[in-house]
């Protein structure tokens, strides 16, 4: 509830467009690769060069990310001419949280952590509470969203695009 009030407040002062969350290139590219694998699941292994081309990711960097996802047990690989990568579990069972933490490590709220032990004034406490609440909601959202949801949304957008052509 506090998060919603905070976002409504930001919206009311027209600064909502300045509210940004950061995801590293590693996290972004890794999510794109995982989504690509989910979109092409059931068709056999996908080669990294295909993912790199479709998602506009440098292949060498992608190979490193795929190795991290493999070590985390999210994808599996096969060798040979018909080899490549595929999801290790069904897309509905893999969350964005799984992918992000496999690539980035534990997600931590570092804001307001390690601040001095001086007595916090009410403004500091309120800000810390709001930030902690935002962080909790972000983590919960990542845990609730699956690769399958992205695939569904992707397909809907693609259908709309095809309809208008």
pLDDT, tens digit (0-9, with 9 covering 90-100), for 14-55: 444 455 567 789 999 999 999 999 999 988 999 999 999 999
pLDDT confidence of 58, banded at 50, 70, 90? very high
Nearest to 62 by CA among 73, 46, 51: 51
Is residue 111 pLDDT above 90, yes or no? no
Q: How many CA atoms lie within 13 A of 61 on its CB side?
A: 15
Q: Is 50 helix (H, G, I), strand (E, B) or coil?
A: helix
pLDDT confidence of 9, banded at 50, 70, 90? very low
| Cα–Cα dist 55/100, whole Å | 17
Number of independent structural domains in the chain: 1
Average pLDDT over residues 48-77: 96
Token duo for residue 15: 């600064």
| Cα–Cα dist 31/133, whole Å | 24
**What domain range includes position 48?**
2-164
| β-sheet bridge partners, residue 75 | 87
Q: Which of 37-41, 88-92, 119-123 has the lowest mean pLDDT?
A: 119-123
| Cα–Cα dist 50/34, whole Å | 13
Percent of the chain with pLDDT over 90: 49
> 115: domain CATH number?
1.10.10.10
- Provide the pLDDT for residue 16: 45
In whole numbers, what is the pLDDT of the chain averaged over residues?
82
pLDDT confidence of 123, banded at 50, 70, 90? confident
pTM, two decimals, is 0.76
Percent of the chain with pLDDT over 70: 77
- Provide the pLDDT for residue 115: 58
- Provide the pLDDT for residue 31: 94
- Give the contacts of 108 (CB within 8 A, at least 6 positions apart): none
- Provide the pLDDT for residue 119: 58
């Amino acid at each position: 509830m506090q998060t919603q009030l905070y976002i409504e407040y930001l919206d009311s002062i027209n600064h909502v467009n300045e509210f940004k969350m950061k995801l590293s290139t590693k996290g972004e590219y890794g999510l794109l690769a995982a989504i690509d694998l989910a979109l092409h699941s059931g068709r056999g292994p996908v080669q990294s060069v295909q993912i790199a081309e479709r998602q506009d990711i440098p292949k060498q960097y992608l190979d490193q990310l795929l190795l991290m996802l493999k070590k985390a047990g999210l994808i599996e690989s096969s060798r040979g001419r018909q080899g490549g990568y595929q999801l290790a579990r069904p897309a509905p069972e893999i969350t964005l949280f799984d992918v992000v933490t496999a690539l980035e490590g534990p997600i931590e709220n570092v804001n307001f952590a390690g601040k001095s032990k001086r007595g916090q004034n009410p403004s500091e406490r309120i800000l810390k509470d709001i930030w902690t609440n935002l962080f909790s909601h972000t983590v919960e959202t990542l845990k609730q969203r699956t690769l399958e949801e992205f695939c569904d949304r992707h397909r809907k957008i693609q259908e709309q695009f095809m309809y208008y052509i």
